[in-house]
Structure 1
Amino acid sequence: MRINQPQLIDSTLREGEQTPSVAFTDQDKHKIIQGLCRIGVDEIELGIASPLNTYLPNLVKEAKKITAGSCRLSLWCRCKAEDIAFAATCFPDLLALSIPVSDPHIQERLGKDRDWISKTLTASLQQAWAAGIPAVSVGMEDASRADTDFLVATAKIAQQHGATRIRLADTVGICSPARMTRLVQTMKEAVSLPVAVHCHNDFGMATANSIAALEAGADSLDATVLGLGERAGNCRLEEVIGYLALVLGEQRYHPEFLPELCQLVAESAGRDIAENHPLVGSAIFTCESGLHQHGLTVNPDMYEPYAPERVGGTRRLRFGEKTGARAIQLQLHKAGLRLDEMQIKDLVHRIRSGGQVLNQEQLLRFAAKCC
């Protein structure tokens, strides 16, 4: 399915830094911003607008120098007068206001009612515009558990008072792709504003839900590098960049820079990248299975959705107890070694019973000895 001009909002420096024990240094943040620009993200959410975060005015200033207008710079903000006032002193390109829309959050967490939400949102938007903020997005916290009628009514209030985007948050990650599709379609029918989604990964579906949202008509999605975030994290930036660029052919994004950025964020956050991590894992192009090796040798498209070099990777074949005669014979033929049937059979037996796994160079040396 074709997705029309998706917009990617990276929230690594806001949502990602909410990961327990993660705190990026100023130098880390500057490098991450540079990496995000190289990849081609459309918007970088730099942090939470609060008078407590005294570093933000300077970070926004430095980010503008780094990005040189190549992407939008935004701040996340509660619907609190003091936070909005502080945000205005930071001069972001966009302010992302956030307000809860589910009854448990409204009544139990805030001790308020729906009428208070409507009035507070209206006042917050009016304050933001009066402060000269150039664009304001309205994020609806816990939208996936909100009453649909109230969700729509709140979105219409946002539109009426000049909001430039609606952002739907699946705050506890309970959506499925089908449910997310319905949520986005409902919002697209209710208002004429661009719609974004913010998906959490509590059931491992954040990326799938985000792509489903785009297919349903959403205009943008949030993501974080390596999926950093609260609890199980968020939609992974590397996965959506990879899917949009390598499957859907979005040429604005550059997946070849993903490994460098992901490694930078992993080191800054004190995290390891699993060797089978999608798109950037060190072993995702390593193959030992004989059946797959045969297919890869004949045509890599048989068992790879994209060429390894598209993400800075290298294909590596390994030969061990999972490898059969056909795969080994093909490798030897490619290197100009011709063994008869009995020699191949003996070589396979030695490899499979030896308890070791050989790389391509080791296989050729081993075969030469057997000859």
Structure 2
Amino acid sequence: MDFLYTDSWKAPCPYNPKLDLKDIIIYDTTLRDGEQTPGVCFTKEQKLEIARKLDELGIPQIEAGFPRVSKREAEIVKAIANEGLNAVILALCRTKKEDIDIAIDCDVDGIITFIATSPLHLKYKFNKSLDEILEIAIKAVEYAKDHGLFVAFSAEDATRTPIEDLIKVHKKAEEAKADRVHIADTTGVATPQSMEFIVKNLKENLTSAYIGVHCHNDFNLALINSIYGLISGAKAVSTTVNGIGERAGNTALEELIMALTVLYDVDLKLNLEVLPELCKMVEEYSGIKVPKNKPIVGELVFSHESGIHVDAVIKNPLTYEPFLPEKIGLKRNIILGKHSGKNAIRYKLELMGIKVDEDKLNKIVEKVKELRESGIIIDDKKFLEIVNNILK
């Protein structure tokens, strides 16, 4: 296996399998589950802008909202459905006729309808048996299909539902002509192993409906659980931009896309350069600040300070980057500080068109380290000030 490369935009990972995942459907729920983040409330124009940007990225399905929530929400979902986007537009509905009727009035292409199936929810939320819940669910699926909608049925709290019950519920949903069935890890308690077990067992018992996974991030496992779901036989996966959502959030769209693309060599046929702009937009509109070290789009992800790292990155960026930032429309940044070496300083000077001799270079390096250790940030302005003082 050849470990060496010279012209790739991503670093080879020879121990990772190349996944033969075709026709993966990402159904992004930023506008629904993402907006259920406490304190988040998008305006109509904000939702439309996010939907347009998701469509520009090339996301196949967009869950536009929960129309039953309010008249305003229904108006927004309808506006998105009539925006002329390439994406299939979905709306969330409870297993209630009135919810589905509102979704139909919103002109959506399909619905995701849900009801809880775990013993915990059956006892404390519904005080009903599984068979009673199943009857409600099937009527809702049949009603939506009778009205020509794409229907995804989601078993809420699926990962805490006994597998025999989960199979029973989803087989009945399939018999009612549901197009897709969802495994919802509602409280983020699944592990990759349990997700694999559930997906494989469910897949063995279904013949027409395909599987989707909807993962929450309570234990920081949403991304890997989503990937294991796909590896195990699921075809659809739920995401939110920046991983926003209830409690600890959902599977982050940008992380899933780049993990599949870079690590598993899956061609999702997406316009990757749109990602940073989309993530910035959702950060601004949601008011939820993206950490500086956020994977993929954090401002420090392609920044380098350590002298050893910078020296190598100057020669070949992939020595310390898993993929080139230009692939998603970003740029790397060389940060000057206490860990900077001569090559980093020399490189920064070259970028600024400044030439110095070795003696002056050593003095600049020393001054940069000294000032940074005293608490001063060495931005371009401060760096020029240091250089000018030494060159006097």
Q: What TM-score does the superposition give when structure 2 sets the normalisation length?
A: 0.86
Equivalent residue number for residue 46 of structure 1: 64
Q: Is the 8 A contact 2:81 2:107 kept in 1?
A: no
Equivalent residue number for residue 5 of structure 2: none
> 1:36 is matched with which residue: 54, 59, 66?
54
What does residue range 110-129 of structure 1 map to in structure 2 within 5 Å?
Answer: 110-129=126-145
> 1:18 is matched with which residue: 36, 42, 45?
36
Q: Is the 8 A contact 2:291 2:298 kept in 1?
A: yes
Deviates more, 1:296-305 or 1:312-321: 312-321
Shift of 1:257: 1.2
Q: Distance in 2 between matches of 1:129 and 1:14?
A: 22
> 2:113 is matched with which residue: 83, 97, 101?
97
Shift of 1:170: 0.4
Equivalent residue number for residue 224 of structure 2: 208
Equivalent residue number for residue 134 of structure 1: 149
The secondary structure found in structure 2 opposite 1:66 is coil
Structure 1 gap segments, 5+ residues each? none
Q: Distance in 2 between matches of 1:226 and 1:350?
A: 38
Q: Distance in 1 between matches of 2:96 and 2:89?
A: 20
Shift of 1:141: 0.5
Equivalent residue number for residue 282 of structure 1: 299
1:270 aligns with 2:317: no
Equivalent residue number for residue 228 of structure 1: 244
Equivalent residue number for residue 80 of structure 2: 63
Q: Is the 8 A contact 1:106 1:114 kept in 2?
A: yes
What does residue range 199-348 of structure 1 map to in structure 2 within 5 Å?
Answer: 199-247=215-263, 248-328=265-345, 337=355, 339-340=357-358, 345-348=362-365
Shift of 1:295: 1.5
Q: Distance in 2 between matches of 1:314 and 1:77?
A: 42
Q: Distance in 1 between matches of 2:43 and 2:362?
A: 58
Whichever residue aligns with residue 26 of structure 1, its letter is K
Distance change >3 Å, CA 55–CA 278, structure 1 → 2: same
Q: Distance in 2 between matches of 1:293 and 1:171?
A: 43
> 1:178 is matched with which residue: 193, 196, 199?
193
Equivalent residue number for residue 155 of structure 1: 170
Shift of 1:92: 1.8
Q: Distance in 2 between matches of 1:152 and 1:370?
A: 74
Distance change >3 Å, CA 365–CA 57, structure 1 → 2: closer
Q: Distance in 1 between matches of 2:191 and 2:173?
A: 26
Shift of 1:49: 4.0
Q: Is the 8 A contact 1:318 1:360 kept in 2?
A: no
Whichever residue aligns with residue 185 of structure 1, its letter is K
Whichever residue aligns with residue 173 of structure 1, its letter is G
Distance change >3 Å, CA 125–CA 320, structure 1 → 2: closer
The secondary structure found in structure 1 opposite 2:168 is helix
Whichever residue aligns with residue 18 of structure 1, its letter is Q
Identity %: 32
1:81 aligns with 2:104: no
Shift of 1:250: 2.2
What's the CA shift string for 1:25-82, capped at 9, x where partnerless? 11111111111111111111111242x52235543442234244x1111111111232
The secondary structure found in structure 2 opposite 1:31 is helix
Q: Distance in 1 between matches of 2:64 and 2:388?
A: 58
Shift of 1:329: 5.1
Distance change >3 Å, CA 365–CA 24, structure 1 → 2: closer
Shift of 1:362: 6.4
Structure 2 gap segments, 5+ residues each? 1-17
Q: How many residues align?
A: 367
What is the aligned-residue RMSD (CA, Å)?
A: 2.4
Q: Is the 8 A contact 2:152 2:181 kept in 1?
A: yes
Shift of 1:347: 4.2
Q: Distance in 2 between matches of 1:127 and 1:64?
A: 20
Q: Distance in 1 between matches of 2:306 and 2:221?
A: 28
Equivalent residue number for residue 6 of structure 1: 24
Equivalent residue number for residue 210 of structure 2: 194
